[in-house]
Amino acid sequence: MASVTYLRSLANNTPYTLTLIDGENRSQSLAIGAQHVWNGSLAVPWIGKSEENYKALRLILGPGAETNIWLFQDYWQPAYMDAVKYLIASSMEYASEEVMEVPGDNREGGSKNLIVSLVNRQFKLLMA
């Protein structure tokens, strides 16, 4: 049986405000200031096909809010691992070859912390 991942904290270790929009409930959004942390509980949505792209959490960053990072839990790949994945792109596409697992403790569900950093002008994610 699949296990849900809950974000319990989100650390924005960048010089930009991070806006998070919940794809399943677009009225639920967060703004996390530069070098600040949000604490709470937010389920990472399951996606298993392109028709479910709308569910992904959208993280918006950058000096002109031009970077979109899509965060979701993969229902199928790899099977029974409950991997949290991300895509940096203007729009979400589950089948994209650019989709990657979030580095760190991203499998098997449960309570997790997400850290967003800026390294050499590129946004990096880490799950702990």
pLDDT in tens, 64-95: 999 999 999 998 899 889 999 999 999 999 99
Which CATH number characterizes residue 75's domain? 2.60.40
According to the model, what pLDDT value does residue 1 have?
60
What percentage of residues in the chain have a pLDDT greater than 90?
Answer: 91
According to the model, what pLDDT value does residue 76 have?
87
Give the domain extent around 72.
5-127
pTM assigned to the model = 0.95
First to last CA, the chain: 22
Give how many domains the chain has, as a whole number: 1
In the chain, the amino acid numbered 43 is A
Three-class SS state of 77: coil
- Which of 104, 76, 71, 73 has its CA nearest to residue 87? 71
Distance CA 62, CA 89 (A): 13
Three-class SS state of 52: helix
